[in-house]
Amino acid sequence: MIPAPFQYYAAKTVNEAIGLLQQHGDDAKLLAGGHSLLPALKLRLAQPAVLIDISRVSELKGITSDGDRLVIGAGATYYEIATNEAVRAGCPVLAECVGQIGDIQVRNRGTIGGSLAHADPAADLPAVALALGATINVMGPNGARSIAADDMFVAMLTTALSSDEVITTVTFPILGKGEGAAYAKLRHPASRYAIVGVAAYVKLDGGTVSACRIGVTGAGSVAVRQPAAESALVGTSGDDAAIAAAANAAGDGVDYLGDIHASAEYRQAMVKVYTRRALTEAVRRARG
């Protein structure tokens, strides 16, 4: 539980952090809330020679709203997000999700940027990012670019981010009339990570589901969408039978994990159960 030696830099700006990343290459790691990185360091599963602390970079802080979208600083903690008025009003599912992450200490330290960059297979936020079609905005040596959530999560602990890029903000839509979203989670009693987590987004147009997006985390090696279940719901009224049918279609395309906490078989079954629960709540909310 004692990390290997490392050099420590406290960056003051995003550019400084990028410069340090370029300078130290693969030896360096960004440090945000530390709640994924430090456990790995303590178990010596990761032994970076250089840590670049970005938790004091003020550009990465803050949550703003422009009426259509919420722009969340990568350095915003779960606590800040869960208690932010604009988030609670405009995108309550986000508050619902981060409010269920870990325990109080984790929520006070962990950041949205760290969670999305780390892409833990059991992390909660990737499911919500997928279901809401979030955008991950990053800065690198060649300037800024945006990554759609659908393109972000590549494989276990692997994202579309390159090693010299820093996530600066994450953009979420503000949900309007007829839109609803929910996050349902089966959590591990020790770590409280998701054994299975399902985020669902539903849009109703005149009583008919016109759009649906589902993100699943925890079950497999990486968070994924559920196209078959989504299209099963689109065009229906979103009643219980339609939701049951859609939930039943969920579970494809997941590279299921099996371990002592849950077998692949159980995770597969729970994807359907939690898809039903998330969709039911999302439709209820969409109906207003």
Ligand X SMILES: Cc1cc2nc3c(=O)[nH]c(=O)nc-3n(C[C@H](O)[C@H](O)[C@H](O)COP(=O)(O)OP(=O)(O)OC[C@H]3O[C@@H](n4cnc5c(N)ncnc54)[C@H](O)[C@@H]3O)c2cc1C
Residue numbers at the binding site for ligand X (CB under 6 A)? 29-37, 39, 54, 74, 101-102, 106, 109-111, 113-115, 117-118, 120, 123-125, 161, 166-167, 191-193
Which of another protein, ligand X, none has residue 34 at its interface (CB below 5 to 8 Å by kind)? ligand X
Which of ligand X, another protein, none has residue 118 at its interface (CB below 5 to 8 Å by kind)? ligand X
By C-beta, is 157 or 228 nearer to ligand X? Answer: 157
Given a contact cutoff of 8 angstroms between Cβ atoms, the answer to whether 150 and 132 are in contact is no
To another protein, the closest distance from the beta carbon of 1 in angstroms equals: 4
Interface residue with another protein, options 103, 105, 143, 177 (CB under 8 A) = 103
Which of another protein, ligand X, none has residue 186 at its interface (CB below 5 to 8 Å by kind)? another protein
d(CA 124, CA 107): 12
To ligand X, the closest distance from the beta carbon of 229 in angstroms equals: 22
* Span near another protein by CB under 8 A; candidates 60-68, 85-93, 204-212, 267-275: 267-275
| By CB under 8 A, residue 173 contacts another protein | no
Q: How far apart are the first and last CA of the chain?
A: 49
Q: Give me the 189-208 binding string for another protein, x by CB under 8 A, dash otherwise.
A: xxx-x-x-------------
CB atoms within 10 A of CB 155: 11
Residue type, 36: S
Interface residue with another protein, options 39, 99, 140, 173 (CB under 8 A) = 39
Interface residue with another protein, options 152, 182, 186, 233 (CB under 8 A) = 186
d(CA 270, CA 265): 9
Given a contact cutoff of 8 angstroms between Cβ atoms, the answer to whether 279 and 214 are in contact is yes
Residue type, 167: I
User: 49 is written with which tokens?
Assistant: 């020679």
Cα 255 vs. chain centroid, distance in angstroms?
18
Residue type, 106: V
Place of tokens 């579309």: 160
